[in-house]
Structure 1
């Protein structure tokens, strides 16, 4: 019998293979269209703190999306990898220094303010039509979101991916966090009546 870990690894590899096969120019265009959808569909204001992420490899480039939300008043933050199990979210301020992080990504310098996001743009490898996601295997986001929940906070969780990353069913585990919505090139999709 195949273990959940092995099954997730297989689904992750297949979904990422499909994403990697997308035309690079098309990915840029789709990312820009998704930024427009986010601007029109995700309501933000001065109290909104949006956590984005610096795109790696063939991920959706959420930077235009983040900047569109900032134009509507949101503060921005990016994950900072603290160790092998923990990330926090540091404020992204125009002109502030950025530093290299693990996995080839970058984030705000350690002097940046640590924020608790109210809206999280969540990276993922694969997702299903119930809002379950497969991340990259390290569990950073599951733990970070669980810590926010433990503080009594309920950030709006918006997965960001391309349609080709959808799988029939993600095998779930107790620690998995279910997304409220997913934003793809075909629009913003809500799960299970999530608000």
Structure 2
């Protein structure tokens, strides 16, 4: 059953709100997927904070019209599932991982603000570490010199204590 005009406006408004907060939109063709597979994909997306939606392409075009994602309009052909998130890597990872288990999900492409990507670009994006992982690596790199400096400062009193212990042991043995 199709949506009436009010229903379509509500869908476009909901998707537009998600698009406004998104850093990336990834589209994939889902033709041939079973309901159970789509349900599993949605559960995985929900865990990762990805908004996943099957939309009519005309409604998607209306939702992204006038945004930084306008370049995606050329890729909107066929039955597509849309993944979007504020994390630029999460939708690509979720859809890429799922496409490894199901050959019926075909990643078509995606878009970051003012940058349209093909399927190869999305696969490359999926291999990137997440923002949290990058921040953890940066923090570790920034902390390493300080930790080494503290260890070096701590070594001087430690050496002195070990020398005193050696002198004590030598006196006790004599």
Give TM-score, length-normalised by structure 1. 0.24
More helix by share: 2
- When Rg is computed on C-alpha atoms for both structures, the one with the higher figure is 2
